[in-house]
Amino acid sequence: MNTEVLKLDGSADDLVKVRYAARLLQAGALVAFPTETVYGLGADARSPEALTRLTLVKGREDGKPYALLLPGPRHAEELSAGLTRVARKLMRLYWPGPLTVVVPRRGGGTVGLRISEHPVTRSLLTQCGFPLATPSANRSGSPREPVNAQMVHDELQGDIS
C-alpha cells in the first residue's frame, strides 16, 4: 500500500480531503492526523478488523486498550456505563482539549475518552460520526513522538492509508 499525504492549506479543498480521509476510516483503513499534542493514528473503534490492523501496525501488545477520540459529548454517554458527577465536570471544563477521562465502559472494564480541540481532528470526527481508537502515530516503543506528518510518513509509510 502506498501512503498518501493530504496537505491542508486552508482552502475550500480541505473539506474534500477530510471527507476522503473519513471515507477511508469508514472502509476500515488507518489514517494519521494531527491532534493538539502529537499525530494520532485512527481506526474505526467499532470495527474489530480495523482494531486488529491498528494493533498489528503499531506492533502493540494484543488486548491493550486504546483511548477513543469522540465526535461529541453524547458519544461519552453512549460508550460509558455511567458518568460520575466528577467526570461530567471535567468533561465540561476541559473538553475539547488534551484531557482523557477514564470511565467505566458499557459491557465491562474501563475506557479512556477524549474530544480533541484540533480543528482537523474535529472535522475528521464530525465527518466520520463515530469514535476513533487513537494511539500515537508511531510504532510501539518508538523513542520519538510523531509531531509532524513527515515523522509519521517516515515510520508508517506503506502500512497506513
User: pLDDT tens digits, residue range 80-123?
Assistant: 998 999 999 999 999 999 999 999 998 889 999 999 999 999 99
Statement: residue 4 has pLDDT above 90: yes
The count of other CB atoms within 10 Å of the CB of residue 72 is: 15
Do 27 and 128 touch, CB atoms closer than 8 A?
A: no
DSSP state of 27: T
Percent of the chain beyond pLDDT 90?
91
Which residues are bridge partners to 69 per DSSP? 114, 132
* Distance separating alpha carbons of residues 22 and 95, to the nearest angstrom: 22
5 pLDDT tier (thresholds 50, 70, 90): very high
Query: Quick one: pLDDT at residue 59?
Result: 96
Query: Quick one: pLDDT at residue 111?
Result: 95
Do 112 and 102 touch, CB atoms closer than 8 A?
A: yes
Average pLDDT over all residues of the chain: 95
1 pLDDT tier (thresholds 50, 70, 90): confident
Query: Quick one: pLDDT at residue 106?
Result: 87
Statement: residue 26 has pLDDT above 90: yes
Statement: residue 23 has pLDDT above 90: yes
Query: Quick one: pLDDT at residue 107?
Result: 86
Query: Quick one: pLDDT at residue 100?
Result: 96
Closest listed residue to residue 100, CA positions, set 125, 59, 55, 66:
66
User: pLDDT tens digits, residue range 55-75?
Assistant: 999 999 988 899 999 999 999
> Which bin fits 106, alpha (ψ -120 to 50), beta or left (φ > 0)?
beta
DSSP state of 45: T
Which residues are bridge partners to 68 per DSSP? 113, 133
